[in-house]
A and B are shown apart, each in its own frame.
Chain A
Amino acid sequence: LAKTTQPISMDSYEGQEVNITCSHNNIATNDYITWYQQFPSQGPRFIIQGYKTKVTNEVASLFIPADRKSSTLSLPRVSLSDTAVYYCLVEVGGSQGNLIFGKGTKLSVKP
């Protein structure tokens, strides 16, 4: 399974755009890139998933370069409520959905 590497923590201010980059050098052809958000004492919540290029939904964008060895989660205009841990995962296509969660990136948004 592909291992991911992401920063342990990041700080930002309200209203700024936040970009969290994740590296996954040994990603396989069938693998998807998925991001989850977790608040304290809650289970993770799915944010976005992509395979290549760019994916956008109502909460975030995911940028994946052509070589797919990294990806960037972009959160536009963050607010205090976006303070959470963000996990980057590589999900094996065709698998039963078992995911490998790392330690994630702890994002702290300040006023």
Chain B
Amino acid sequence: SQTIHQWPATLVQPVGSPLSLECTVEGTSNPNLYWYRQAAGRGLQLLFYSVGIGQISSEVPQNLSASRPQDRQFILSSKKLLLSDSGFYLCAWSRGGPSSYEQYFGPGTRLTVT
């Protein structure tokens, strides 16, 4: 069966510090991978998605970046965090290919920028 892991579960970082969130998927090959952010009381905002190694599409311009160094690894980074980067970050995967597949979400990372 497939599983998705995210870490850390919670993170408190000062403004201006770097960020690295990691997501890994097990039990599937060549998945589509996604990073979402959810601010308090808001819906989910798609940040990045990837259909393959090294292929990243950005949905929202910001000070965040994403990388996919391996097939089932997706990393969200920032060089300098802003207060507005606080939120609940979710990684998700779906089966690859040009079809409509459901997405499976990880447990999320609660980021607080102070």
Contact = CB atoms under 8 A, between A and B. Distances in A.
Given A44-B44, A101-B45, A49 B105 contact: no
B: interface residue count bin: 20 to 34
A100 B47 CA distance: 11
Contacts of B94: 97
Contacts, number: 65
B99 to A, nearest CB: 7
B33 to A, nearest CB: 10
Nearest to B41: A103
A46 to B, nearest CB: 4
Interface stretch (A17-25, A74-82, A88-96): A88-96
Nearest to A87: B43
Interface string B93-110: 010001111111111101
Contact of B43 (A41, A95, A96, A101): A101
A97 B110 CA distance: 24
B66 interface: no
